[in-house]
Amino acid sequence: MPPKHSRSSGDDLSSERGATIQRQPTATAAAAAAAHGAADVTRRMVCGGLAGMIAKTVTNPLDRIRMLSQTGEHGSNTQKPSALSLYRSIIANEGVLGLWAGNGANLLRVFPAKAVVFSTNDIYRKFMYRLSGRNAATEPLPSYLSFLAGGMAGVSASAVTYPLDLARGRITGKLAGADKKKHYSGIINTVVMTAKEEGFSALYKGVTPTVLGALPYEGIKFGTVGVLEGAFPKDPDSDRQSLICRKVMFGGCGGVVAGLTTYPNDTVRRMLQLQGSKGTTEVYASYFDCVKQIYSRYGIRRFYNGVAVNIIRMAPNTAIQFGSYEILKQLTEKML
């Protein structure tokens, strides 16, 4: 007669085998989901970076004129020359390619910056949806949460890429002299020269207004897009072309609103970046000292030098960013 416990032992062994078989597909599914999630984040980062590069290259001539107007480093006797006058000065001193001066540095900065901005904004928005308990497929995110997600994305990007932004500011914010000689010839030259002549910490001149400005700028930009998406819900039956046009229009509006709101802070940021550089004599003890000196010397209007060009630039720049990002996302979503 077999022992009484033999059947029970067999059942236990069978149960353990069954549990192991059940755990294996579960573990495999979890690993596959994690891999898919990582691939999706990478895809969004690449799409965001490429979208930023496309937009910046298209609008760089306007950005060059805007930055020269902001910094005042244009060699003109007039404190506030017109955009057309600055355009002529660039062509006369640096040729047509001068309109794209600093674009290489900008692209090196923009790809990682926009990759971080767009990918982290999507991540922060998902977190905000979970936090608010809303359904991402059917309910819009509250505007204050859209603002917060965009702001956090902007701060993340600024912290990662600031030295590249400073190099780009110094290349773009100065006009070549009458001898056609440029103060800075490239991003590597600018970074090395700045660190050598002014110390490593000089690579972070102006970082305070940059971080302070990134939160409201990206927050207002993405927040405005979020508000518009809530005010004008998308039609479930809309085709891809309609969705892209929608993103382009909303993105353009978001860029204009954000650019206008944060422009004075951006002017201070550019002035701080140029202090200590070749040909610049102004010295500021701090962010607030810079604000005080600019206001006491030139008045409130000095903070808005180049704002008209910036408005013209921001609409297509942001519209192209959002539109390109949406197109690239749609083109690559089937790759996963």
Please give the full DSSP string across 36-65, using - where no structure is assigned.
HHHHHHHHHHHHHHHHHHHHHHHHHHHHHH
User: What percentage of the chain exceeds 90 in pLDDT?
Assistant: 10
Between 145 and 136, residue with greater pLDDT: 145
Looking at residue 267, what is its pLDDT?
92
What's the Rg (C-alpha) of the chain?
26
Residue 287 has pLDDT above 70, yes or no: yes
Q: Which residue has the higher pLDDT, 252 or 36?
A: 252
Q: Higher confidence at residue 276 or residue 21?
A: 276
pLDDT (mean) for 291-313:
91
Q: What is the pLDDT of residue 61?
A: 92
Half-sphere exposure of 112 (CA within 13 A, CB side): 13
Mean local confidence (pLDDT), 34-59 = 84
Residue 30 has pLDDT above 80, yes or no: no
**322 vs 124, which has greater pLDDT?**
124
Contact by Cβ (8 Å): 74, 86: yes
Distance of CA 316 to the CA centre of its chain: 15
Among candidate residues 151, 161, 159, the one with its CA nearest the CA of residue 112: 161
**Rounded to an integer, what distance in angstroms lies between the CA atom of residue 14 and that of residue 179?**
88
Identify the DSSP state of 238: -
Per-residue exposure over 36-56, b if at least 16 CB sit within 10 Å of its own CB, e if not = eeeebeebbbbbbbbbbbbbb
C-alpha–C-alpha distance, residues 182 and 180, integer Å: 6
pLDDT one-digit tens code per residue, 222-234: 888 888 888 888 7
Res 268: pLDDT: 92
pTM here is 0.64
Quick one: pLDDT band at residue 23, thresholds 50, 70, 90?
low
| Residues 279, 292: Cα–Cα separation, whole Å | 22
* Residue 335 CB contacts under 8 Å (≥ 6 apart), including other chains: 43
Using an 8 Å Cβ cutoff, are 58 and 320 in contact?
yes
Please tell me the predicted confidence (pLDDT) of residue 152: 87
Is pLDDT of 90 > 80? yes
**Residues 53-71: pLDDT tens digits?**
898 899 999 999 998 888 8
Quote the mean pLDDT of the chain.
82
pLDDT at 5 over 80: no
Residue 313's CB: how many other CB atoms inside 10 A?
A: 24
For residue 334, what pLDDT is reported? 74
Give the per-residue pLDDT at 40.
83
According to the model, what pLDDT value does residue 177 have? 66
pLDDT (average), residues 296-320: 88
175-213 pLDDT, tens digit per residue, is: 876 666 777 777 888 888 889 988 988 888 888 888 878
Question: Is pLDDT at 15 greater than 60 in this prediction?
Answer: no
pLDDT at 79: 65
